[in-house]
Structure 1
Amino acid sequence: MNSRYAMLAAPLLLAVALSSAQAWANGEEDTPAKPQCPKGQVFDKKAQKCVLQTSQRVPDADRTDYAYQLAKDGRYEEALALLDTLQNPNTAKALNYRGYATRKLGRTDEGIGYYLQSVKLDPHYAKVREYLGEAYVIKGQLDLAQQQLQQIKSICGNTTCEEYQDLAEAINGSSKT
């Protein structure tokens, strides 16, 4: 009986592993959930705890990732404040997340500016293309959103990656209103 389950489970485990690898290849930002740190603190991956944002031990990569988590949790001002502590704020990810938080605060044009800076640094970064396209949808510039959708299709090599699906949904949702 156990060998029968093992035979059934092995392909399932392989599929999960491959889909996870594909998610990372497509630039998806879904990392394991981090604890919610109080305002003014950031999650230190190495120490596995919340520390003051002013701590010099927390590398920019951790600060950037945590800023994105804050923004996804609706804590946009805190995300921007954390991004302000980066030693090198001019990375594709940091600019993308700054654009995201700014756009979510209703400052769409400013967000687009950050997205465009991110695209210049990494034209093959699908997540920034998705967010830039969503900003264009907000502005009613569906032709520009469609251009980003095609760029994502080229980056992913298909239309099944999350970034493509999310932007296509945003475009379709706006054309129905």
Structure 2
Amino acid sequence: MRFISRVCRFAAPVLFAVVATLAVAAGDISSSSPSVAERLTDARKAIDKGNWRDASYTLSVAVREEPNNADVHNLLGYYNRKKPEPDLAKAFEHYNTALKLNPKHKGAHEYLGEAYLMDKKPLEAEKLLVALEKICGNKTCEEYQDLAAAILKHRTIK
């Protein structure tokens, strides 16, 4: 019985250390890395500051971590549309992916409409405005208002 008691006194701390080490290796370390939501916040800040390289890096990590996240694809579309040398093809790709993942994503509808305006396709933007009215249930949601203003501005510039 003494032998078992000694083994237990020795084994318990060792076993605890092994379990703690395995827990850290299995995932506790990841708790120190930012969530995708935090990465999106960081990417928005980088975009607002014109720090395109940081935005690109942060968004590439976010899309690797959550490839089926509509918000990630929406912001990737925004990034590609707003960077100094816009890539509308990539913007359209990401907005459409966001809408496949979440057909009622208001931000993707708005931004896709703005991309269509850049691509000189105002009728497509107007279709998205109609869709936004249905999704929002009115004409007062921010995304509807922003796209409506962009369409009006596009008309007056012509």
Note whether the superposition's TM-score is higher than 0.5. Answer: yes
**Structure showing greater relative contact order (alpha-carbon pairs closer than 8 Å, 6 or more residues apart):** 1
Question: Which of 101, 107, 117 in structure 1 is aligned with 2:79?
Answer: 101
Question: Whose strand proportion is higher, 1 or 2?
Answer: 1
Unaligned runs of 5+ in 1: 1-53
Using the size of structure 1 for normalisation, the TM-score is 0.65
Match of 1:131 in 2: 111
Residues 156 and 100 from structure 1, CA distance in 2 versus in 1: closer, same or farther, beyond 3 angstroms? same
Deviations 1:65-94 (A, max 9, x none): 221232233323321210111211331000
Moved more, 105-114 or 162-171: 105-114
**Aligned residue runs from structure 1 range 82-101, under 5 A:** 82-86=58-62, 87-101=65-79
CA contact (8 A) 1:83 1:89 kept: no
Question: Which of 15, 39, 44 in structure 2 is aligned with 1:68?
Answer: 44
Match of 1:15 in 2: none
- SS at structure 1 position matched to 2:68: coil
- SS at structure 2 position matched to 1:160: coil
State the 1:56 CA deviation: 5.1
Q: CA RMSD in A?
A: 1.7
Moved more, 130-139 or 68-77: 68-77
Larger Rg: 2
Using the size of structure 2 for normalisation, the TM-score is 0.73
Q: Percent of counterpart pairs with the same letter?
A: 35
For residues 49 and 141 of structure 2, the distance between their equivalents in structure 1, rounded to whole angstroms, comes to 23
Report whether the alignment pairs 1:119 with 2:99. yes
Question: Whose helix proportion is higher, 1 or 2?
Answer: 2
State the 1:64 CA deviation: 1.9
For residues 91 and 133 of structure 1, the distance between their equivalents in structure 2, rounded to whole angstroms, comes to 20
State the 1:55 CA deviation: 8.7
Report whether the alignment pairs 1:166 with 2:146. yes
Unaligned runs of 5+ in 2: 1-29
